[in-house]
Amino acid sequence: MAVVDRRTLYERVSTVATTRLALEYGISDVGLAKVCRRYRIPRPPRGYWVKIQNGQKIRRPELPKITDPKLQCVFFHGANMISGNPNPEAQGPLLVPPILADPHHLVARAQEQLAASALGLDGLVKTDPRSAVDVHVRPVTVDRALRVWDTFAKSWEREGGVVVTATYGQSPCTAVSVGDDLLAIRIAETIEPVRRGQRSVGGPGPARPRLCFVLGMGRLDGIKQTWADTTTVPLEKMLRPLSKAIRLYLEVQCVRRLDRECEGRQQERINEIRKINAQEIATHYYRRQELIQETERWQQSQKIRNYLAAMQAAVEGGELAVRDGDRFREWMQWAQSFAASLDPLVGTAPLDRPPLVTARNTPTEQLDLTSAARTVVSQLGVKDSDELSRVPAEKIKELAGTAGAVWNEITVVLEGLGYDVSKREARYY
């Protein structure tokens, strides 16, 4: 997320054409108009720039005063705004040479393919993105498209990125990358009808060809997907802001990917802890059942022994007659043996109960946290997981603004370390 002072944006809207300013911010001119309406920033009226070019003095609409402090700064979320200085002239524009010389190896391969490519039903020629940069243009635009691609690819790799061939789903594509994060990119040409009163970059005519970079292979969140020629700005002048917008987009995607991987590891750890706890619960259940059964068997064995002792006393006292002494002794021996077989106290004592999962106190710098949770934990100033487990939700809310997600993540991390989290209720604000 980037922030621009409201008056600063007002000054730039009044001094830079909307289409060009939108490119610098990495959004569409429609998106910039919505931002201006949201923050009550007046835009120049119709005909403003024509009168300026003719030397006329135009009175700008004043910036209205506002009392809402939330509207004093303009927030561009996600990858909508290019990081750093939004003015591309601060680094200088990327200059596309008039001829293609010493091209990037993927551009050179595209040049070979387009020279041998047959014209499609749409009147365009195209490359094979499995081995060359992705191009889909008219034959007369091939040289321009390759020079634009070559300039962009060389600049991207000079700044530490890589241009590669890749696969998105089952579709081959050209992609730009920084580290492990990729974004599909291609050059295409569209032919659009020219509205009444409009002129194309190449002159008047019934249709306006537009060369454009198309990003991604589906809907993208937080970045303009199509960077195309406009009536006043050709694609060649958009390469610097395009590069910056892609780089910021990939940075955001990298943070999101690392956070997803972190959350996956957290879930794996608590799944393991929960599996151990479930096994412990099952073990306790079966042990309780076994204990009840052993108690009942012990009681049965005691009852049998008492009965046998009473019978022996009755025989010895003459109260009970025995017709066959040998068979009686054999039966008593068997009965004593049966009573012993029921008695759980005869033989090996039960095993001791295994220890429960114990919490592992861990330094906070070693905790596996997402970027948002890491920021909050750093602000808390706790040194280890023991201290973190004692921080109340109200304190986290004070730092995070909305404590639900961060509180829940910290709970997941603590559970993964073996802490008892049964009393940590999920709290959303």
Q: Express each pLDDT in 118-138 by its tens digit.
A: 888 888 999 999 999 999 999
**Which H or E run includes 146?**
helix 142-158
**Model confidence pLDDT, tens digit, residues 41-56:** 888 887 777 777 777 7
Low-confidence ranges of the chain (pLDDT < 50): 1, 78-90, 200-204, 352-353, 427-429
Tracing tokens 């066959």 back to the chain, one arrives at: 324
Residue among 228, 409, 346, 159 at smallest CA distance from 424: 409
pLDDT at 194: 56
DSSP state of 364: G
Residue among 19, 133, 16, 92 at smallest CA distance from 244: 92
**CA dist list (Å): 243 to 145, 155, 157:** 16, 8, 11
Q: Identify whether the C-beta of residue 339 lies closer than 8 Å to the C-beta of residue 305.
A: yes
Q: What is the pTM of this model?
A: 0.57
Phi then psi for residue 388, to 5 deg, are -65, -35
**Which H or E run includes 5?**
strand 2-5
Burial code (b: 16+ CB inside 10 Å, e: under 16) for 267-295 equals eebbeebeeeeeeeeeeeeeeeeeeeeee
Burial code (b: 16+ CB inside 10 Å, e: under 16) for 127-149 equals bebeebbbbbbbeebbebbbbbb
Domain ranges of the chain: 1-86, 96-273, 274-342, 364-416
Q: Identify whether the C-beta of residue 141 lies closer than 8 Å to the C-beta of residue 149.
A: no
CA distance 169 to 166: 10
Token reading at 99: 């001829």
**Model confidence pLDDT, tens digit, residues 391-401:** 888 888 788 76
